[in-house]
Amino acid sequence: MKKTTQLKNLICGRELEFLMEAHSGLSARIVEEAGFPGIWGSGLSISAAMGVRDNNEASWTQVLETVEFMADCTTIPILLDGDTGYGNFNNMRRLVRKLCQRGVAGVCIEDKVFPKTNSFLRGEQQPLADIDEFSGKIKAGLDSRIDDDFCIVARIEAFIAGWGLKEALKRADAYHRAGATALLIHSKRNRPDEIFAFMKEWGDRCPVIIVPTKYYSTPTEEFRRHGIAAVIWANHLLRSAVKAMQETAAEIFEQQSLIDIEDKVVPVKEIFRLQNDEELAEAEGRYLASKRELAAIILAAGRGKELGDLTLDRPKAMLQVNGTPIIKQTLDQLHARSIKDVTVVRGYKKETLAPLGCSFVDNDRYDETGELYSLYLARAQLEGPAVICYGDIVFRSYILDELIGHPGDIVVVVDSHIGERRADYVGDFVRCSEKNRKSYDQGRVRLRAIELAEKGSFDEALDGEWIGLLKTTEAGSSALLEAMEELAQRPNFKKMKLAELLDQVLAGGGVVDVVYIDGHWMDVDNYEDFARSQGF
């Protein structure tokens, strides 16, 4: 049901109803959770919470903004205390239109003069509005409604200003005839005498609302008996909050510690609950799922025996190519793409990698194990999307960009430039769904098979060589983990190469995409590679 209709039913229904004051989104939410059917947007409380006086010191648009926050976070209707309507009939027209647009269900205006003063301050000196002028303001408000159920409550301040019952009734009659949804009759006495006298004379001509702040000790049953339509508890959330804040501030100031206060205040998680953080967390899961950060794993446990003396004191990943260790070049490329979460699996001469300043996983059995086992040791990094890279390759930076930008779940980089390989070259040769056409309109290429490289297995008909670089999405990482767990059951698991993992994914029906390159990388396996790499 529309909030306007809810408020109208509440005011015009036969039962005595209750509206509770709120002055902010948070307090409005608390009112709704307590079970109240409606909210009183109190002028006193809203201005006090802003630290200004209830004398129209806050502009009407500032009030509008506050009440919009209140409306946004609640489902029950708000009756705004609109003071005098912030001006004449014209200001009232604009106010009503704006309140309708912002989801406020009704406004109460009082028959005083702008700028008003709170009814409990110097009441006798407060001039009342001209009856005809105020009646015109009510009509202007009614004519400006965007929603016919928007309520306009006319508040009579005759008792507050020291006038008697006759004046109050005269005004009630005029405002009722002007079309007000209901009347609010206010009193500053500590007994409800003048309110009940008014009710006896007025009867049930239209709904009457009261604000028993001063005559608070009157039993609620009496209000019911006198035919009151609704009671407004006008300022009690603000007043209770002030008391709690004063006590807490004083205690913390005194103690210079939080130790005694923690159990007297709500936990921070209660604030998060009132802010509905749960909804945001759920929405983040829905809309930000693909935003998980890329992690990287570099496999650098092996020595590189073929490099002889060069790797006596360091693993081959730490050999310098053009003045910088190979692995450092890869790290720099990852960092340049904001991939900060990098784990290096190290083994041989592991202490020499320490200056790299990244995370390490140690494979101390590097001599008897293969790369797959190294990856297995770092599998915690495969919780989300990841880049996996051999520690002994150098490559041009665009290759990493193309790999990361590819939408596939598991993507490998394949060099199609293999024509010059020697017959005894050892590499992970592959067959793909099509050859590298080296053209922009080459569609998606899939990996069909990966040859488990043996010396002399090189064959001209192959489509390329996997360079030891791949990336996964979150789903791709799960698929790799699953394949890895299956292989881990095999007796020769510790000796396996990474290519065997890709083979296992393919065997299980998984899809592996290919990013083709044409050279622009090299690995360093022997003296000759190392010499050539210095010109890379």
State the catalytic residues.
54
The one segment of 38-46, 311-319, 367-375, 455-463 that binds ligand SPV by CB under 6 A: 38-46
Token output for 420: 């010059």
Give, as ranges, the residues between 209 and 228 that touch ligand SPV (CB under 6 A).
Answer: 211, 213
The entry of Mg ion, ligand SPV, none near residue 234 (CB within 5 to 8 angstroms by kind) is: ligand SPV
Q: Please choose, from the candidates 85, 101, 89, the residue with its C-alpha nearest in 3D space to the C-alpha of residue 43.
A: 85
153 binds ligand SPV (CB under 6 A): no
User: How far apart are CB 116 and Mg ion at their closest, in Å?
Assistant: 8
Helix (H), strand (E) at residue 448:
strand 445-450
Type of residue numbered 306: E
28 binds ligand SPV (CB under 6 A): no
The entry of ligand SPV, Mg ion, none near residue 151 (CB within 5 to 8 angstroms by kind) is: none
Give, as ranges, the residues between 449 and 468 that touch ligand SPV (CB under 6 A).
Answer: none
Give, as ranges, the residues between 84 and 143 that touch ligand SPV (CB under 6 A).
Answer: 118-120
Which residue carries 């967390």 as its tokens? Answer: 281
CB 516 within 8 A of CB 433: no
User: How far apart are CB 225 and Mg ion at their closest, in Å?
Assistant: 27
Type of residue numbered 532: R
* Backbone conformation region of residue 509, classed left if phi is above 0, alpha if psi is from -120 to 50, else beta: left
44 binds ligand SPV (CB under 6 A): yes
> Distance (Å, rounded) from C-alpha 516 to C-alpha 411?
10
> Distance (Å, rounded) from C-alpha 197 to C-alpha 193?
6
Nearer to Mg ion, 160 or 480 (CB): 160
Q: Is 175 helix (H, G, I), strand (E, B) or coil?
A: helix
User: How far apart are CB 57 and Mg ion at their closest, in Å?
Assistant: 13
Count of Cβ atoms closer than 10 Å to residue 389 Cβ: 28
User: How far apart are CB 26 and Mg ion at their closest, in Å?
Assistant: 20
235 binds ligand SPV (CB under 6 A): yes
DSSP state of 128: B
Using the rule CB under 6 A, which residue among 24, 27, 42, 473 binds ligand SPV? Answer: 42
Contact footprint for Mg ion (CB under 5 A): 43, 81
Which residue carries 């009510």 as its tokens? Answer: 138
Nearer to ligand SPV, 84 or 416 (CB): 84
64 binds ligand SPV (CB under 6 A): no
20 binds ligand SPV (CB under 6 A): no
> Distance (Å, rounded) from C-alpha 176 to C-alpha 153?
10
Count of Cβ atoms closer than 10 Å to residue 407 Cβ: 8
Closest residue to Mg ion, judged by C-beta, is: 43
62 binds ligand SPV (CB under 6 A): no
49 binds ligand SPV (CB under 6 A): no
Q: How far is CA 500 from CA 121, 307, 376, 387, in A?
A: 86, 25, 13, 18
Nearer to ligand SPV, 43 or 464 (CB): 43
Binding site for ligand SPV (CB under 6 A): 42-44, 81, 118-120, 211, 213, 234-235
